[in-house]
């Protein structure tokens, strides 16, 4: 049995365990055990993968395995990971682990909440380990659907509206995606759905030109591509804390990952053909998201627009199609996943205490809840790209890589995109100044308490990861860079 299948099996066992659990403590126990097991498994996989690579493994993907489950369409459950999937799995496991702690005290219907939560995680893990187009799509949908219930039931504010909007827009995206997948399948001669095999075939250029935008848009909706990003502010604002974390932290990464793994890898000529248009859109995303965030007054809206900007940078870098830029894109996915999860966790915790996210009503929290305030500042600094935290590493790789493209148009886009780091500073510092510094405006807030032990665990884990990636990026950068190579070679050939 393949080690990768454990990533699907453990969540399945967790689901069974949650189903059987009777008390709150049992539920928490199952979640804790399961998410720790996944985290350990992900770390183990990362170590094993690095060892294999150092031992001279040169295949595009390692740990490959395949079981056909629907012969007529050649649909198989095929698994395999490269450096990109390894870091994404690690990211997902970390976010799931911390997300468990972030929703430790969630009420009501804790058990049901965790059931859906685990199902979402199952979809995410399955997506990252799969190398079969259809199976990937299957897991992708598995990850999307629980979102609706998690936001609709456990959310806050206009939750039904937000949940409906999010689900409909993402489903719209996946409709494109399905067409795109079928296009790839038939375009390549309808003999296999396995990405690795498809990558070695060539799809006719005219087919690529038709289906590349479909697949890219399909994943782009999830990656908050302008102008299909509007689910993000409402969705994030209404989602419960851990769901926001998992959604912004991992689910939005499915978009970038899919764009890279499916759209760009399998359809390099389509990518070359369409990169101009999409590059303009992503550049708009980057700057537009940041500028929108500047005037928002709801903490989660600020962060959601900031995510639009940062995820826009992921797609932007992918479209630059140089090796360094693509490495940067994956690093940015990793970094954004961690820091935005941290951000949402802290915002959720603050909201849980003050019951408002309006920055005009908040103030002076630094004195009342120093731990959360410091965590917020750290998340903010990571967001604006402070060296030593993850944001810097990712952004610099993206910019250096984008600048490698000698074309003037790409250069101009890069320079426009770099302005986002200034705008990011503006909205982060504005928020920090408003809500943390200054004096407390509401006497009610004086009585609030600082983070509890479970919240501290979640926040400290995330800060540690953000700092670790920021201070020692060598490992992640190297294994991603190696794994990006095949795609770039294919692009160069086209």
Binding site for other proteins (CB under 8 A): 164-165, 168-169, 227, 230-231, 234, 288, 291-292, 294-296, 323-324, 327, 364, 366-367, 381, 384-388, 392-393, 396-397, 399-401, 403-404, 414-415, 418-419, 421-422, 425-426, 429-430, 433, 436-439, 473-474, 477-478, 481
Report the nearest approach of other proteins to the CB of residue 104 (Å).
24
For other proteins, the closer of residues 41 and 317 by Cβ is 317
Report the nearest approach of other proteins to the CB of residue 393 (Å).
6
Dihedral sign from CA coordinates of 404, 474, 43, 96: negative
The two most distant CA atoms of the chain are separated, in Å, by: 69
For other proteins, the closer of residues 115 and 368 by Cβ is 368
First CA to last CA across the chain, in angstroms?
37
Report the nearest approach of other proteins to the CB of residue 415 (Å).
6
Cα distances (angstroms) measured from residue 37 to each of 90, 117, 225? 12, 16, 34
Decide: 242 and 117 in contact? Cβ < 8 Å: yes
Please give the Cα distance from 326 to 418 (Å, whole number): 16
For other proteins, the closer of residues 75 and 382 by Cβ is 382
Please give the Cα distance from 8 to 6 (Å, whole number): 5
For other proteins, the closer of residues 111 and 410 by Cβ is 410
Report the nearest approach of other proteins to the CB of residue 164 (Å).
8
Cα distances (angstroms) measured from residue 358 to each of 294, 295, 354? 14, 12, 10
Report the nearest approach of other proteins to the CB of residue 380 (Å).
11
Please give the Cα distance from 151 to 158 (Å, whole number): 10
Q: Between helices 390-403 and 370-383, what is the axis angle to 10°?
A: 10
For other proteins, the closer of residues 100 and 324 by Cβ is 324
Helix, coil or strand: residue 66: strand
Q: Which residues of 108-142 are buried (b: 16+ CB within 10 A; e: fewer)?
A: eebbebbbbbbbbbbbbbbbbbbbbbbbbbbbbbb
Report the nearest approach of other proteins to the CB of residue 294 (Å).
4
For other proteins, the closer of residues 78 and 397 by Cβ is 397
For other proteins, the closer of residues 28 and 357 by Cβ is 357
Report the nearest approach of other proteins to the CB of residue 375 (Å).
13
């Amino acid at each position: 049995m393949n080690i990768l299948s454990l990533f699907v099996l453990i969540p399945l066992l967790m689901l069974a365990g949650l189903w059987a659990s009777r008390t709150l403590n049992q539920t928490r126990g199952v979640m804790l055990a399961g998410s720790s097991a996944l985290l350990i498994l992900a770390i183990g996989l990362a170590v094993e993968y690095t060892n294999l690579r150092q031992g001279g493994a040169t295949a595009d993907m390692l740990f490959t395995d395949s079981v056909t489950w629907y012969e007529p369409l050649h649909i198989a459950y095929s698994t395999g990971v490269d450096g990109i999937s390894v870091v994404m799995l690690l990211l997902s496991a970390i976010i799931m682990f911390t997300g468990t702690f972030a929703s430790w005290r969630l009420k009501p219907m804790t058990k049901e909440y965790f059931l859906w939560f685990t199902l979402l995680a199952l979809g995410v893990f399955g997506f990252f380990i799969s190398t079969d187009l259809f199976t990937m799509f299957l897991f992708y949908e598995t990850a999307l659907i629980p979102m609706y219930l998690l936001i609709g039931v456990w959310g806050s504010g206009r939750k039904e509206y937000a949940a409906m909007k999010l689900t409909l827009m993402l489903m719209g995206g996946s409709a494109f995606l399905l067409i795109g997948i079928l296009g790839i399948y038939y375009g390549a001669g309808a003999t296999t759905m396995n990405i690795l095999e498809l990558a070695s075939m060539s799809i006719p250029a005219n087919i690529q030109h038709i289906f590349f935008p479909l697949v890219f848009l399909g994943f782009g909706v999830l990656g908050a591509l302008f102008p299909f990003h509007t689910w993000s502010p409402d969705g994030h604002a209404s989602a419960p804390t851990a769901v926001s974390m998992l959604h912004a932290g991992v689910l939005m990464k499915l978009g970038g990952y899919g764009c890279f793994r499916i759209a760009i890898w399998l359809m390099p000529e389509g990518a070359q053909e369409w990169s101009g248009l999409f590059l303009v859109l992503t550049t708009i995303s980057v700057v537009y998201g940041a500028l929108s965030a500047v005037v928002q007054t709801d903490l989660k809206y600020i962060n959601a627009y900031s995510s639009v900007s940062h995820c826009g940078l992921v797609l932007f870098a992918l479209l630059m199609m140089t090796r360094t830029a693509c490495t940067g894109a994956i690093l940015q996915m990793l970094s954004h996943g961690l820091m935005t999860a941290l951000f949402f966790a802290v915002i959720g915790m603050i909201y849980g205490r003050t019951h408002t996210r309006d920055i005009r009503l908040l103030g002076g929290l630094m004195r009342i809840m120093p731990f959360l305030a410091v965590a917020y500042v750290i998340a903010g600094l990571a967001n604006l790209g402070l060296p030593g935290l993850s944001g810097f590493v990712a952004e610099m790789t993206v910019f250096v890589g984008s600048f490698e493209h000698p074309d003037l148009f790409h250069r101009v886009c890069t320079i426009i995109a770099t302005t986002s780091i200034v705008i990011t500073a503006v909205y982060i510092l504005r928020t920090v100044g408003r809500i943390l510094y200054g004096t407390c405006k509401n006497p009610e807030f004086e009585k609030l308490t600082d983070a509890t032990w479970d919240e501290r665990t979640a926040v400290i884990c995330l800060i540690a990861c953000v700092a670790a990636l920021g201070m020692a990026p060598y490992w992640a950068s190297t294994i991603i860079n190696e794994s990006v190579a095949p795609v770039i070679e294919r692009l160069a050939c086209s």
